[in-house]
Amino acid sequence: METIARADLIDLLQEEQGFSRQQATLFLEEMFELFVQTLERGEPLKVSGFGTFDVRDKATRLGRNPLTGEEAVISARRVPFFRPSRLLRESVNGKSRTRNAQS
């Protein structure tokens, strides 16, 4: 499985959209910063046709250290999560409208 890195996304913006390297880098960094700021405020971020990024609050709970078996308190925290849209799920599963139209 190949991982797409930040640099790969910058290259794609250059090749596909004609951005300069500096423009592509700035665009990507600004987008990521917008995502982070929105989630830090506890607001969901919906990207139509892609999915929703949100934050869930996890309560304090009792856990166990897997190495020692010793019980430990896991502190309360906020956890980011992503819920894909129906269109993204269908596309990933080979059921996208464009693929069906080509069949």
User: What CATH code is carried by the domain that includes residue 53?
Assistant: 4.10.520.10
Instruction: Note whether 24 and 51 are same-domain residues.
Output: no
27 and 65 housed in the same domain: no
Kindly indicate the confidence band of residue 1, based on its pLDDT and cuts at 50, 70 and 90: confident
**How many whole angstroms separate alpha carbon 80 and alpha carbon 71?**
25
- Domains identified in the chain, total number: 2
Residues 1 and 28 in one domain: yes
Residues 35 and 48 in one domain: no
Average pLDDT, integer, range 53-72: 95
pLDDT in the model for residue 103: 42
Statement to judge: residues 94 and 63 lie in one domain: yes
Supply the pLDDT for residue 86.
95
Q: Are residues 48 and 33 in the same domain?
A: no
pLDDT for the residue numbered 6? 93
pTM (2 d.p.): 0.74
Which domain does 26 fall in, by range? 1-41
**Helices assigned H by DSSP within the chain:** 6-17, 21-40, 86-92, 97-102
Q: Is residue 102 pLDDT above 70, yes or no? A: no
Q: Which of 2, 1, 27 is nearest to 12 (CA)?
A: 27
Distances (CA, A) of 95 to 80, 83, 87, 99, 103: 28, 18, 9, 7, 11
